[in-house]
Amino acid sequence: MSTQIKQTLVMTRVNFSTLPRRVAISLSMVLSIALVVAVLAGFLAMANGFEKALSSAGSPLVAVVLGGGTNQETGSDIPADAIRSIQSLNGDIGVARDGSGNLLASRELVAPVEVVGTQGLSSATLAFRGMDVSGLAIRDGIKIAAGRLFAPGTREIVVGARLATDFPGFGIGDTVRLGTVDWKVVGHFAANGSAFESEIWGDVDAVRAAFNRQGQVQSLRLRLIEPSSIAVLRASLATVTPTPLVAVSEADLYAAQSGRTANLIRLFGWPLALLMAIGATAGALNTMMSSVSDRTIEIATVRALGFGRLSACLATWFEAVALAVAGAILGVIASWLIFNGWQASTVGANEASMGFRLSVDRDVMLTAGLLGLAIGVIGGALPAIAATRLPLMVALRARG
Amino acid sequence: MTQEPFITLAGVRKGYRTGSDAIPIFTALDLAIPRGDFVAIMGPSGSGKSTLLNMLAGIDVPDAGSLKVGNYRLDQMGETARSSWRAHNMGIVFQFYNLLPMLNAAENVELPLLLKPLSAGERRSRVAKVLDLVGLSGREKQYPSMMSGGQQQRVGIARAIVSDPKLLLCDEPTGDLDRKSADEVLEILALLNRTLEKTIVMVTHDPQAARSAKRTLHLDKGLFVEEKRAA
Ligand SMILES: Nc1ncnc2c1ncn2[C@@H]1O[C@H](COP(=O)(O)OP(=O)(O)OP(=O)(O)O)[C@@H](O)[C@H]1O
Ligand SMILES: [Mg+2]
From first CA to last CA, the distance across chain A in angstroms is 30
Pair (A43, A79) in one structural domain: no
Picking from A230, A254, A278, the residue at the C-terminal end of a domain is A254
Q: Please give the model's pTM, rounded to 2 decimal places.
A: 0.79
Residue A139: which of A26, A222, A71 has the closest Cα?
Answer: A222
B179 touches A: beta carbon within 8 Å: no
Q: How far apart are the CA of B132 and the centre of ligand 1, in A?
A: 35
B168 touches A: beta carbon within 8 Å: no
Picking from A254, A279, A303, the residue at the C-terminal end of a domain is A254
Q: Which amino acid is at A20?
A: P
Q: Give A189-216 pLDDT, tens digit per residue.
A: 998 878 788 899 999 999 999 999 888 9
pLDDT at residue B3, as a whole number: 74
Pair (A261, A248) in one structural domain: no
We report the CATH number of the domain holding residue B26 as 3.40.50.300
**Quick check: B231 pLDDT over 60?**
no
CB distance A306–B115 less than 8 Å? yes
Mean of pLDDT values over B123-142: 96
Residue A135: which of A149, A125, A145 has the closest Cα?
Answer: A149
Residue B118: which of B90, B150, B156, B87 has the closest Cα?
Answer: B87
Pair (A16, A69) in one structural domain: no
- Binning chain A into helix, strand and coil, the percentages to the nearest 5 are 55, 20, 25
Mean of pLDDT values over B56-67: 96
Pair (A124, A201) in one structural domain: yes
Which chain B residues are within 8 Å of A302, Cβ to Cβ?
100, 111
Pair (A330, A384) in one structural domain: yes
Which chain A residues are within 8 Å of B96, Cβ to Cβ?
398-400
From first CA to last CA, the distance across chain B in angstroms is 25
Is position B69 within any domain?
yes
Residue owning the nearest CA to atom 18 of ligand 1: B48
pLDDT at residue A6, as a whole number: 92
**Quick check: B32 pLDDT over 90?**
yes
Pair (A105, A32) in one structural domain: no
Is position B75 within any domain?
yes
Is position B118 within any domain?
yes
Is position B97 within any domain?
yes
Q: Give A314-333 pLDDT, tens digit per residue.
A: 999 999 999 999 999 999 99
Q: How far apart are the CA of A397 and the centre of ligand 2, in A?
A: 7
B100 touches A: beta carbon within 8 Å: yes
**Quick check: A299 pLDDT over 70?**
yes
Q: A61 by DSSP, 3-state: which?
A: coil
pLDDT at residue A276, as a whole number: 93
Residue A302 to chain B, least CA–CA distance (Å): 8
Pair (A178, A325) in one structural domain: no
Pair (A248, A267) in one structural domain: no
Pair (A271, A295) in one structural domain: yes
ipTM of predicted complex = 0.93
A 10 A CB-CB count for B25 gives 19
pLDDT at residue B1, as a whole number: 47
* Count of structural domains, chain A: 2
Q: Chain centroid to CA B12: how far?
A: 19
Pair (A243, A178) in one structural domain: yes
**Quick check: B77 pLDDT over 80?**
yes
Is position B2 within any domain?
no
Q: How many angstroms separate the CA atoms of A106 and A218, rounded? A: 11
To test the ligand 1 pocket, which listed residue (B20, B29, B51) has its Cβ within 8 A of the most ligand atoms?
B51
B77 touches A: beta carbon within 8 Å: no
Is position B61 within any domain?
yes
Q: Which domain holds residue A230?
A: 62-254
Comparing A355 with B4, the larger pLDDT belongs to: B4
Q: Which domain holds residue B171?
A: 7-229
- Residue B230 — pLDDT band, cuts 50, 70, 90? low
Which chain B residues are within 8 Å of A395, Cβ to Cβ?
59, 94, 98
Mean of pLDDT values over B151-169: 97
Comparing A107 with A73, the larger pLDDT belongs to: A107
Q: How far apart are the CA of A292 and the centre of ligand 1, in A?
A: 23
Pair (A119, A172) in one structural domain: yes
Pair (A294, A184) in one structural domain: no
- Residue A264 — pLDDT band, cuts 50, 70, 90? confident
**Quick check: A58 pLDDT over 90?**
no
Is position B1 within any domain?
no
**Quick check: A395 pLDDT over 80?**
no
Q: Give A89-108 pLDDT, tens digit per residue.
A: 888 888 998 888 889 999 99
Q: A169 by DSSP, 3-state: which?
A: coil
Average of per-residue pLDDT values in chain A: 89
* Residues 6+ positions from A247 with CB-CB distance below 8 Å: A63, A64, A65, A66, A222, A230, A233, A234, A237
State the Rg of chain A over Cα.
31
pLDDT at residue A1, as a whole number: 66
Picking from A233, A254, A275, the residue at the C-terminal end of a domain is A254
* Count of structural domains, chain B: 1
- Cβ-in-10-Å burial (0-12, 13-18, 19+) of B2 comes to exposed
What CA–CA distances, in Å, run from A300 to A266, A312, B108? 47, 9, 14
